Structure 1
Amino acid sequence: MTAEPDTTINVNSQDLQALGNAGINKADIEQMLHALATDLRSGNEAAVHDQANGLTAAEIEILREGGAYGLDDTSPGALARSRRLAVMRLQLEFRQLQRDSLYASAVAELLGISAARVRQLTNPGNPGLYSFKGARSKAWFPRWQFVESSVIPNLRLVLQTLSPQAHPVTVQQFMTQVNNDLWSSELEENLSPRDWLIAGYPAEPVLSLIRDI
């Protein structure tokens, strides 16, 4: 008699706590595993590759610096699978970003302005706030652009330079990850673009970097 396959997935309490802290719940994990299994069953590597092609080389590099792995194997099968994993990671991080972001009403309260003014500041022609569309096309505002009860210095210049096609997760990671090109001689350490701007340094180095994503 053929033994039944073991369908139990062991996850310890520390792992569950870490996932929970990152905003990843049981439904997210099940969805990710189902999507991966579906791709493996179908062997549809072309579709996987097409989905991953939405990421630019700069975005993939930022994801790699943020912990994504398997992106350097260039064999056709491995490349398709690793990019699919990268896309799934992106999807999970997008969910987390959405959970951590603010509603327009919360932004209005934080900045002491009206909800109508918040909407005006998201005008694509001259944006003063960064937002992205989440579930039901609702606008979400990531926290990286705020400091205390204001926006970070030179945010408008950053948004004018940023490509509208840049993925929100890529933007989040770019703005919050330490960048080796942003060295503070006063602090004697590298800073993230966000911290660089908050510290009062010129915007141009950040603008130069953000043009590449």
Structure 2
Amino acid sequence: MRPSLSEILARAGLRVDPEEFLTLVEDAARRLSPADPDPAEYFAPAQRAVLSDVGLDLSPRRPEERDSRARAVAAQAVLRDTALTVAGAAERIGVDTSRIRHRLAENRLSGWKDRGGWRLPVWQFTNTSVLPGLEAVLRATPDDQPPLVVAAFMTTPQADLLLGQDPTTPRDWLLSSGDPTRVARLIATLGTPA
């Protein structure tokens, strides 16, 4: 027997009504690229020829192929669902909401405006404070990187950040008193060609 959406959300630790979660998924899907894009349309004829010559398939997705956007849509929905409001962030770190807005204006906290106001990704907080070294990391974060990319970076183990012998996430590195300049150097390269 398949588990219900309510059971899956509960197992994942997401405190959200299933209907609200489905609305988040729908919103995230709408914000992404079209459902059935034609990759060739993104390139000039000369570019298409070169890409085809090196073996890239620029044909539209076939009906039987899995939608590559599904993982991104789910990740975006979870990011939005777990993000804190200004009031939630203020309560978490024990300050007034005006302090949170001030930190957002100064890029000392990361967030985005949503239809209900500011949303702040939870990765940048501990249970009672702001992540140690956060300001240095945010100063180095390229402005063109969306919150989902930054969240993925901060919560994915990085080979250049070792705790003992094991790669760790930038978030865990900072929580273990790791040097924030190492994380800042890594995050500064987001979006740049390898």
**TM-score, length-scaled by structure 2:** 0.70
**How far is the alpha carbon of 1:188 from its aligned partner?**
2.9
On the 8 A contact 2:111/2:120 being kept in 1, the answer is yes
Correspondence list, 1:55-66, <5 A: none
Amino acid at match of 1:114: D
Percent of pairs with identical residues: 25
**How far is the alpha carbon of 1:203 from its aligned partner?**
1.5
**Among residues 86, 98, 122, which one is paired with 1:104 in the alignment?**
86
* Runs (5+) with no aligned partner, structure 1: 1-11, 51-72
Using the alignment, how far apart are the partners of 2:174 and 2:111 within structure 1? 19
Task: Confirm whether residue 118 of structure 1 aligns to residue 100 of structure 2.
Answer: yes
Relative distance call for 1:86 and 1:168 in structure 2 (3 A) is farther
1:1-47 CA-to-partner distances (Å, cap 9, x unmatched) read: xxxxxxxxxxx523744367556957469959x97xx844xxx5059
What is the match of residue 181 of structure 2? 204
On the 8 A contact 1:45/1:80 being kept in 2, the answer is no
Using the alignment, how far apart are the partners of 1:108 and 1:172 within structure 2? 20
**Among residues 142, 165, 181, which one is paired with 1:188 in the alignment?**
165
Amino acid at match of 2:181: E
What secondary structure, in the 3-state scheme, does the structure 2 residue paired with 1:190 have?
strand
Amino acid at match of 1:89: R
**TM-score, length-scaled by structure 1:** 0.65
**How far is the alpha carbon of 1:179 from its aligned partner?**
1.0
Relative distance call for 1:137 and 1:109 in structure 2 (3 A) is closer
Using the alignment, how far apart are the partners of 1:159 and 1:192 within structure 2? 16
Task: Confirm whether residue 133 of structure 1 aligns to residue 113 of structure 2.
Answer: yes
* Runs (5+) with no aligned partner, structure 2: 44-54
Please say which of residues 138-147 and 12-21 is displaced more in the overlay.
Answer: 12-21
Say what the alpha-carbon RMSD is for the aligned residues: 3.5
On the 8 A contact 2:25/2:77 being kept in 1, the answer is no
What is the match of residue 146 of structure 2? 167
